[in-house]
Amino acid sequence: MRILFVDAGNYSRSPAAERLTRKLLAEAGLADRIQVFSAGLKDKHAGDPPDPRTIAICTQRGISLDGFVCREITAEEFTTTDLILAMDRENVAQLEGRRPPGAPVTIRLFLGDREVPDPYYGGDDGFVTMFDAIEMGARALVEDLKTQGRAEPVR
């Protein structure tokens, strides 16, 4: 199974979601069956490391972003990914607009009916709020995958 986290630039929220979920999947013994990635809808930060404030909060919470490089989603990922988890409703709308005809991927909000707040234009406290929301969502996702036995596509 392949899960892709997406936000606007792959600069703040989606890198944190990818690396935290990857760590939780490893702890749950699911890392060999579920692959996790992240991407952005824009190429603004492509090739850059994540936002320094994201790196700081992840480091404080025991998540390494070493070696992470921001990138833009590719058209191919709509057919090679089982589940795309968007950080906000605008991301969902843009993803649906880019979805190639017939692409079977499931696209939904990462937190179900809530958005992960975008901390980019705020202060450091916004990154704490962001990480807390991502941690809650990642733990719920991994628990669902574990208890539902979902190591196969969730289409």
Complete domains list, the chain, with CATH: 2-147 (3.40.50.2300)
CB of 106 closer than 8 Å to CB of 82: yes
Instruction: Tell me the pLDDT band of 148, cut-offs 50, 70 and 90.
Output: confident
pTM equals 0.94
User: Element (H or E) spanning 6, and its range?
Assistant: strand 2-7
What pLDDT is attached to residue 149?
65
Residue 11 three-state SS: coil
Check pLDDT > 80 for residue 153: no
From the list 70, 107, 71, the residue with the least C-alpha distance to 89 is 107
Instruction: Tell me the pLDDT band of 31, cut-offs 50, 70 and 90.
Output: very high
Residue 42 three-state SS: coil
Instruction: Tell me the pLDDT band of 134, cut-offs 50, 70 and 90.
Output: very high
In this structure, what token pair is assigned to residue 108?
């939904």
Q: What average pLDDT does the segment 76-83 reach?
A: 96
